[in-house]
Amino acid sequence: MKITGGKVYDPANGINGEVRDLHIVDGKFADNANGATGGREIDATGMIVFPGGVDVHTHVAGGSINFARAMTPEDHRRTQAFIRTQSRRSGLGGMAPTTFATGYLYAGMGFTTVNEAAVPALSARHTHEELSDIPIVDKSSCVLMANNEIMLDLMERGEYDRARDIVAWYVWAAKSYGVKAVNPGGVAAWKYGHDAKGMSTAIPGYNKLTPGDVVTQLARIIDDLGLPHPIHLHCNNLGAPGNVATTLETMKHLEGSRAHIAHMQYHAYGGDDWSTMRSESAQLADYFNAHPNMTTDAGAVLFGDTVTITADGPWQHLLYKLTGRKWGNLDVENETGCGIVPYTYKPSNLVNAVQWAVGLELLLLINDPWRVFLSTDHPNGACFWRYPEIIHLLMSNDFRQACMKKLTPAIKGKITLPEITREYTLYEIATIMSAGPARALGLRQKGNLGVGCDADVVIYEEDKDIERMFGHPRYVLKGGQVVIEEGDIRETPEGREFITRPSYNPDTEAFLKPIFEDCYTMSFENYPVEMERIEHPTMMDCVDVD
């Protein structure tokens, strides 16, 4: 198969809008030389060719998003419906799309790989069942560890090596790809109605272990294990005015380790309370720019209705009290928790206006597009299918300035967005939506149009209307198969799941079993997800981390 004449944007190979032909053999890009002829030829003359999009942080499968679906039938009724056809399943779009619709919506926007960012090991079986019902896209997942009480107890006792083995065991038991840390210590404390806000204050229920210790040790453990994706960290004190201090302190705890800071927008606020809340993205971006050990995703906010879901249980209780709307809380035994609150972001609300600006500011002030990625922390800041709106905001200063006129007048002096004139280029967009997140995830075969990589391609018609261009690609190819063409879904192949198997001391299970049986309600033997439950698993090797 051949794609000819398109303007190719392939940041992984430094190709910036050159007209090139792409050759595909057996689902991978091939060299022109070894006779890659035959098959279909797509004439992409005048069109723009990107590697398929990669979402580094989204919530599309598992207990929490499924609870959100249950809580929002009123949204399902008003949203986009997918009608069953001979080749497609029916479903619903909206704030928390159903699984089949999730695959169609992502692919329809040119995304071919997604990372489900929060999986409790205890219900990982459920997450994998849902992931296998999301067609077209390839998937990876991160298992929640930072509030696992068995691990916290080991860290409290200073048993680092044992804690590392336990983390490795959980990653494999959950058939996961990476490790997510959410509000380290805070979700464990929430089991008793507390939180952990100070990085250097002992976690409630522990004598000396602090959230800072957990962050440092867990990041080091993940590097020692050589997981392809570094610690995926949701910092403490999310959403609170003045939380930039916590975020900066967290970043200091990460020095010497790799780290991915999730949805940084929610962690970049100054001020003392809701009425004085302001953006501190400039300060955060400065620190971040100077510390190349980290990557981040924006967690940008767009105005409108959505449903917030996070493992950060105490924060969701606060959001429930602030909004008076529905609240769901799920505690996951001794592992983690989860909260769900429907939410509406309004430009007339100062806090929401600050959040909207901060997401864009971080994307514009962090100067290396290889280190900051497009995300809305779906569905928290906005639904993933609204990414084209963010791309529009990034590529057009005029549009940003026009949008800022709709913000509450109280915003004056609280954000730096009005002074930023930077506009993203197509090359930079290709970096933040594909090449960068693929590299951060350690998925070398993704976000890259080079020979041997997966032939995931999105082809756009050049269009002055940026949202239309990015929202309605002319063609999307997944593994060399045309899945979207002329605005319609042509094929719905099953995706793969990436998993890793870090090594651990062989006596780990003998050590863990009695502790496990003491505190879990499930039997030890039944706990690990069986390999045969993973649809199309692809093992990814661990890497050497300096």
Partner 1 sequence: MYWGGNPAECHPRHFTKYTLMQKSKFLPRGRKDRTMALVDIRATKSAKAADIFLQVRPGKDFEMITILRAMVKGESIPESQIAETGLSLETLEDLVARMKAAKFGAIFFGMGLSMTRGKHMNSAALLTLAAEMNAFTKFVAMPMRGHGNVTGADVIMRWQTGYPFGISFNRGYPRYNPGEFSTVDVLVRGDCDAAFIIGADPGATMPQPAIDHLAAIPTICLDPHVTHTSKLAKVHITTAPAGIAAPGTGYRMDEIPLPLKPALNSPYPSDEEVVRRINQAIAKMPDWMPEGEPPMVLSQV
Indicate which single residue of 7, 57, 76, 258 sits in contact with partner 1 (rule: CB under 8 A).
76
Q: Report the C-alpha gap between 502 and 107 in whole angstroms.
A: 31
CA distance 362 to 217: 27
Distance of CA 421 to the CA centre of its chain: 27
Neighbouring residues of 385: CB distance < 8 A, sequence distance ≥ 6: 93, 97, 105, 106, 108, 109, 471
Determine, following the binding rule CB under 8 A, whether residue 530 of this chain makes contact with partner 1. Answer: yes
In the complex, minimum distance from the CB of residue 63 to partner 1, in angstroms, rounded to a whole number: 6
> For residues 128 and 253, which CB has a smaller minimum distance to partner 1 in the complex?
128
Locate all alpha helices (DSSP H) within 62-123, ordered by sequence: 63-71, 73-78, 99-108
# residues near partner 1 by CB under 8 A: 54
Shortest Cβ 264–partner 1 spacing (Å): 28
Taking CB under 8 A as the criterion, the residue among 4, 15, 21, 89 binding partner 1 is 89
Contact indicator for 68, 60 with CB cutoff of 8 Å: no
Closer to partner 1 at the Cβ: 75 or 280?
Answer: 75
Tokens 């800041």, residue located: 381
**Residue 19 contacts partner 1 per CB under 8 A:** no
Specify the stretch interacting with partner 1 by CB under 8 A; choose among 90-98, 207-215, 232-240, 471-479.
Answer: 90-98
Helix (H) or strand (E) segment spanning residue 457: strand 457-461
Q: Does 321 bind partner 1 (CB under 8 A)?
A: yes
Binding of residue 311 to partner 1 (CB under 8 A) = no
Place of tokens 């950060």: 312
- Minimum Å gap between C-beta 307 and partner 1 is 12
Name which of 104 and 288 has its Cβ closer to partner 1: 104
* Residue 413 touching partner 1 (CB under 8 A): no
331-357 as b/e: b if 16+ CB within 10 A: ebbbbbbbbbbbbebebebbbbbbbbb
Question: According to the binding rule CB under 8 A, does residue 207 interact with partner 1?
Answer: no
83 touches partner 1 by CB under 8 A: yes
- Residue closer to partner 1, measured from CB, 129 or 224: 129
Query: DSSP character for 50?
Result: E
Report CA 7 to chain centroid distance, whole Å.
Answer: 28
Applying CB under 8 A, which of residues 30, 42, 47, 96 lies at the interface with partner 1? Answer: 96
Other Cβ atoms within 10 Å of 206 Cβ, number: 19
**Residue 338 or 449: which CB sits closer to partner 1?**
338
In the complex with partner 1, which residue's Cβ is closer, 40 or 77?
77
Q: In angstroms, rounded to a whole number, what is the distance separating the alpha carbons of residues 407 and 396?
A: 18
Per CB under 8 A, residues contacting partner 1 are 61, 63, 66-67, 69-70, 73, 76-86, 88-92, 94, 96, 98-100, 122-123, 125-126, 129-130, 133, 149, 190-193, 317, 320-321, 327, 329-331, 488-489, 519, 521-522, 526, 530
